[in-house]
Chains A and B, each alone.
Chain A
C-alpha cells in the first residue's frame, strides 16, 4: 500500500529522488558533533515560532495591558507558564548557541573562500535574532521593558544625522506610548521573523552550493597545499546527512530542548512589576546578552564621547564581523596555522565575557 502511494507520487513529481537528493548530502566525517550547532539553531527557531504563535492567543501589545496579559498567560492560562518559559529560555539559548556557532565557524576558518556569502547571510541572521531578543524583552510591558525602550531609543538617537528622526519613527512620536509598543510588536512578530525565515533557506542553499567543507582536520590525508582550492573539495571521509549527521543533530536538539524545558518548568519567565514612569528607586537591568554593550555605555562621558559607546564601537564592531571573510583572506584554515586570528578571537571572547560579568554587577546607587 505504502509502495503504491510512493509510486503515485514518483510517477508525477519524482518524490523519492527529491528526498534522496536532499537527505543524501555528503558531510565530512570527523567533525560530526561540531557541525550540529547550525541545525540546532534551526530547531530552536522553530520552537520559538511555534511557542510565539500560540502566545499571541492571549497577548495584547498595549502598554498598560501588555504586562497584565503576560502575567495572565503565566498564572491563569493552563500550562501557560511552560509555554512562556520555553519562549524566554529558548530565546536565551538561541542567542547563546548563535555565539557558539559563530565561534566554531570563526576558529575553523569556515568563512573563507568560497563560503564568504554564507558568513554574511549568517551575520544577518545573528543581527536580526539579537534584535528579536531585545524587542521580546520590551513586549513584556514590565518596568524593565519601559526603561529599556526609553534607553535604547535614546541610544538610537545618537546615530549621526538621522538619530533624532530614527527615535521619533521607532517611538511613533516624541515619547514612548501605545504606538511604540505597537511598532515593537509588529517588528517582533512579523517583520524580523520573516527576515529570519527568508535568510535561513539562503544560508542553507549557500551551504549546499559550496559544499560542507568542514574543519581543517577533515583534510589530514590531503597532500594538496592549503592554497589549492581543490583541497577543500575532498575530505578524507564523508557520511550521508541522513541519517548519520541528522541523528547527531537530533540528539543535541533533544539535550538542549530538555534543558530549556527544565528551565521553563523550574524557573519559568519572570514577569516583574507593572511599569511605573514615576519610579524613584528602580534600577533597570538589561538581558545578559546586552550587558557587554551596557557596560560600554559607562566608559564614554560627555558630549563628544557618547557617540563612541552608542554608535561607533557597536557599529564598527558589527561592520568588522560582517566583513570578516573579506578582511581575513588567507587560505589557512586550521586555527593553529593562523595564530593571529585565533588569538584575536580568544581575546575578543574574553573581553565579551569580562564586560558581561562586570556589566551584570549590582548597579552603583543600589549598593550605597
Chain B
C-alpha cells in the first residue's frame, strides 16, 4: 500500500507536483488554441481592391473648393463572406485644378464628417473636430489632416483603393 500524504512529507510534495503539472498541462493545452483563435485576425492579410469612382472629365468640372461627396462600394473578403463596404469619397478641386480624394471619417476617432457650407468647414459631430476644405485641421481634437484614399487615374477613370495614403498605423477605413 502506498503511503498517504500524512505519513510521508515527500509523498505529499510529489502529489502536489503532479496536481500542479496536470492543471498546467490542461490549462496550456486549452489556452494555446484559444489564443490562436482570438489572435487569428492579426495574421490575416487585408483584402485590398480597386474600385471605380468616376470619370476624370466629370470630376474636373466640379466647382473649385466645393467638396463633392461620391459614394464608392468596395467588394472585399471579410471573414467567411464577401461584403460590400460602402464608403464616402470627398472629391475636392483646389484653385489650381488639382483633385483631392479625402475620406469622410474624422481622423480623431472615425465619426462621419458634415460639410457646413456657411462655415466652409468639415465638422465632426462627435467631438467637435474641424477641417478646412483641403483637409487641414482647423480646430478640435483631430491629430492629423484628413485621410487621402489611395487612387490612380487609368484611361480617364479614377480608381480608388480601400486604403489610405500616408497611414502607417492603418487607422480608419
**A residues bordering B, Cβ < 8 Å?**
147, 150-151, 154-155, 157, 164-165, 168-169, 171-175, 177-179, 276-284, 294, 297-303, 305-306, 309-310, 363-366, 368
Contact flag A306-B141 (CB < 8 Å), given A169-B39, A175-B78: yes
**Most A Cβ at <10 Å: residue of B44, B46, B109, B116:** B109
Contact partner, A280, options B38, B69, B81, B105, Cβ 8 Å: B69
Q: Which residues of B contact A363 (CB under 8 A)?
A: 125-126, 128
Q: Which residues of A contact B71 (CB under 8 A)?
A: 278
Is the beta-carbon distance between B125 and A284 smaller than 8 angstroms? yes
**B residues bordering A, Cβ < 8 Å?**
38-39, 41-42, 44, 46, 69, 71, 78-81, 83, 85-88, 104-105, 108-112, 114-116, 118-119, 123-128, 140-144, 169-171, 173
* In the bound complex, CA of A27 to CA of B46 (Å): 59
Sample 21 A-B pairs with CB under 8 A, ordered by A number: A151-B109, A151-B110, A155-B109, A169-B42, A172-B79, A174-B173, A178-B83, A276-B86, A277-B87, A278-B87, A280-B112, A280-B115, A283-B125, A297-B126, A298-B141, A306-B143, A363-B125, A363-B126, A364-B125, A365-B114, A368-B116
* In the bound complex, CA of A194 to CA of B107 (Å): 36
* In the bound complex, CA of A298 to CA of B125 (Å): 11
Contact partner, B79, options A157, A177, A281, A299, Cβ 8 Å: A177
Nearest CB of B to A61, in Å: 13
Q: Which residues of B contact A301 (CB under 8 A)?
A: 140-143
Contacts beyond the supplied A281-B114, A303-B143: 18 A-B pairs with Cβ under 8 Å: A147-B111, A147-B126, A165-B42, A169-B41, A172-B41, A173-B41, A178-B78, A179-B79, A280-B69, A280-B104, A283-B114, A297-B109, A298-B128, A301-B141, A302-B143, A310-B109, A363-B125, A365-B116
Is the beta-carbon distance between B83 and A177 smaller than 8 angstroms? yes
* CB-nearest residue of chain A to B43: A168
* CB-nearest residue of chain B to A366: B125
Nearest CB of B to A317, in Å: 19
Is the beta-carbon distance between B170 and A174 smaller than 8 angstroms? yes
Contact partner, B44, options A173, A300, A305, A309, Cβ 8 Å: A173
Is the beta-carbon distance between A368 and B119 smaller than 8 angstroms? yes
* In the bound complex, CA of A279 to CA of B124 (Å): 12
Is the beta-carbon distance between B85 and A277 smaller than 8 angstroms? yes
* CB-nearest residue of chain B to A302: B143
Q: Which residues of B contact A366 (CB under 8 A)?
A: 125
**Most B Cβ at <10 Å: residue of A175, A277, A280, A310:** A175
Nearest CB of A to B94, in Å: 22
Task: State the majority secondary structure of interface residues on B.
Answer: loop
* In the bound complex, CA of A77 to CA of B44 (Å): 40
Q: Which residues of B contact A164 (CB under 8 A)?
A: 169-170
Contact partner, B127, options A171, A277, A297, Cβ 8 Å: A297
Q: Which residues of B contact A178 (CB under 8 A)?
A: 78-81, 83
* In the bound complex, CA of A164 to CA of B167 (Å): 12
Contact flag A298-B171 (CB < 8 Å), given A169-B42, A175-B85, A306-B108: no
Is the beta-carbon distance between A168 and B125 smaller than 8 angstroms? no
* In the bound complex, CA of A366 to CA of B115 (Å): 11
Is the beta-carbon distance between B173 and A175 smaller than 8 angstroms? yes
Q: Which residues of B contact A309 (CB under 8 A)?
A: 141
Nearest CB of B to A81, in Å: 29
* CB-nearest residue of chain B to A143: B112
Nearest CB of B to A250, in Å: 41
Q: Which residues of A contact B104 (CB under 8 A)?
A: 280
* In the bound complex, CA of A74 to CA of B88 (Å): 32
Is the beta-carbon distance between B88 and A278 smaller than 8 angstroms? yes
Nearest CB of B to A4, in Å: 42
Q: Which residues of A contact B46 (CB under 8 A)?
A: 173-174
Is the beta-carbon distance between B127 and A298 smaller than 8 angstroms? yes
Q: Which residues of A contact B112 (CB under 8 A)?
A: 147, 279-280, 282, 284
Q: Which residues of B contact A169 (CB under 8 A)?
A: 38-39, 41-42
